[in-house]
Amino acid sequence: MSLGKYAKGNKLFKKYFKENKLSLQNLVKSGQSPKALFIGCSDSRVIPDLMIQAKPGDLFVLRNVGNFVPPYKPDEDFHATASGIEFAVSVLEVDEIIICGHSHCGACKYLYKSLDDPSLVHTKKWLELGNIPKKHAILANGSNVVSEELLRLTEKFSIIHQIENILTYPNVKKRFENGELHIHGWYYKIEDGNIDYYDAPSGSFLPLNALLDKENDS
């Protein structure tokens, strides 16, 4: 594949950079102070900044296969996602955490397939983080026969489980319980661009746009 496509894209970006030079250079001088940590899937169809029209400096973004959050494990191994969470919460002191799953997620789909290829040893281990959501989805669906309904349930249960996992991080839990940090679960539908948010009181996912209606009513 030619890199010319990316060079053209960078040329367009430099035009944007020139038009927004002052605000972008202020980010250099003042450093970053994002308000939200966005944990999303590495899926190329999920584009956090475009999805919510965020500007440079708005989001501290972590992406991995399946938007999984491994539970807190204080050892001296390499933990990329955990390190990002700690940096965002304890150093940057973000106010919000958004864990965003999405429809037609490959990671959730492969929870129902056998991965015996030696070249996928790390992927196989990583997908173990989806085993609990998988079990919940099968129970809720009443069948372990793989279907679109089962996969959509798995994707949504996974978001809820990752919220539970992130609360195992001591400083996340502390700041959350003190009301200094808010945690959100989002479900992005790649087929239409809509986002649903997890509403804990009702235990369901509701349209994010409904929050605009609430603001207008108030």
Tens-place pLDDT, residues 154-166 = 999 999 999 999 9
Kindly state whether residue 154 falls inside one of the protein's structural domains: yes
Which positions ≥6 away from 87 have C-beta within 8 Å?
Answer: 60
Instruction: Please report whether residue 111 resides in a domain.
Output: yes
User: What was the pLDDT predicted at 194?
Assistant: 97
The closest alpha carbon to 89, from 182, 164, 159, belongs to 182
Domain count, the chain: 1
Decide if 6 is inside a domain. Answer: no
Instruction: State the residue for tokens 């169809």.
Output: 45
Which amino acid makes up residue 103? S
Q: What is the pLDDT of residue 211?
A: 87
Is 1 among the domain residues?
no
CATH of the domain at 37: 3.40.1050.10
Residue 201 lies inside a defined structural domain of this protein: yes
In a domain, 11, yes or no: no
Q: Does 3 reside within a domain?
A: no
Mean pLDDT of the chain: 96
In this prediction, residue 185 carries a pLDDT of 98
At residue 215, does pLDDT exceed 80? no
The residues, any chain, with a CB within 8 Å of residue 68's CB and separated by 6 or more, are 81, 107, 126, 129, 130, 158, 162, 165
> In the numeric block, which tokens belong to residue 54?
């965020």
Q: What range does the domain containing 52 cover? A: 21-217
Which residue is it, tokens 């945690």? 183
Q: Does residue 120 fall inside a structural domain?
A: yes
DSSP string of 72-118? P--SSS--HHHHHHHIIIIIS--SEEEEEEETT-HHHHGGGS----G
